Amino acid sequence: MFKIVRQHAVRLGIFTLATVFLVVLVEKATFKQRAMQRAAIERAQLATVLPPTTHDNDLLADSFVLDPSTYIQMELLGLKASRMAYRAKLDNKVSAVILPLVSHAGYGGEIEQLIGISDNGEITGIRVIRHQETPGLGDKIDSRLSDWIYSFDGRSLNNTKKSLWAVKKDGGDFDQFVGATITPRAVTASVYNSLEFFNLNKSTLLELATSDTKAINQGIYHDSKPN
């Protein structure tokens, strides 16, 4: 009896070691390529919210961690965990920041967004990165399906007063979709909140801080979830 158990354990151990070895081998062999791919995708994504002409630095190299100890009223961004943000620099001056943003008021759960804000508080671009809104109705927040998200470009708290940061149905400035008001309402509210956050933390965000170099190797999209 004991002999059989030992035999099984040894065999199972050998197989485990062999398979782990194989995985480690592939992991090491593809490491560089994977990091490059991820960086390329991230750069492309960041470029959609902030035109590359507005900065002369590598955004991934100038990423930093948004943590509650440094920034006030982090809850305005709706983030559950510390996330990466990016500083764009032009002539050794911070010209814009890119912040992650999550809305919890969507119809189908969280709506993850990326927002670019220039140093004067104007929105340079917003993209919805991940959402579970109803296909055909609420998913028009996706830039591939509708131009709606572009209606925020160039807006700021200065040129759009607080009461206008709402969908038209609520007396605001932004279109809603036929059959879906909850989704655009959620996005509009979270965009407004992120501008508030920017204003509150403006001096810290636009500071020429030495970047957290650890950030280069980490992505902001680590937590892949099914969609």
For tokens 């990423």, the residue is: 63
Question: What residues between 40 and 59 interact with other proteins by CB under 8 A?
Answer: 40-41
In the chain, which ranges are E strands? 63-66, 83-90, 93-103, 111-118, 123-130
Q: What is the DSSP letter of 140?
A: G
The least distance separating other proteins from the CB of residue 165, rounded to whole angstroms, comes to: 30
List the 93-103 sheet strands across, edge first.
63-66, 83-90, 93-103, 111-118, 123-130
> What's the min distance (Å) between Cβ of 173 and other proteins?
26
Spatial separation of the C-alpha atoms in residues 133 and 140, rounded to whole Å = 9
227 binds other proteins (CB under 8 A): yes
Q: Which of 6, 11, 80, 168 binds other proteins (CB under 8 A)?
A: 11
Question: Closer to other proteins at the Cβ: 14 or 208?
Answer: 14
Determine the Cα angle at 197 with ends 145 and 130, to 5°. Answer: 25
> Could you tell me which residues come within 8 angstroms of residue 73 by beta carbon, excluding any fewer than 6 positions away?
196, 197, 200, 201
Q: Which of 1, 3, 23, 92 is close enough to bind other proteins by CB under 8 A?
A: 23
Region for residue 105 given its phi and psi (left: phi exceeds 0; alpha: psi -120 to 50; beta: otherwise): alpha
For residue 19, state whether it binds other proteins (rule: CB under 8 A).
Answer: yes
Q: Which is nearer to other proteins, 117 or 129 (CB)?
A: 129
Site string for other proteins, 80-119 (x = CB under 8 A): ----------------------------------------
Binding site for other proteins (CB under 8 A): 4, 7-8, 11-12, 15-16, 19-20, 22-23, 26-27, 30, 33-34, 37-38, 40-41, 135-136, 221, 224-227
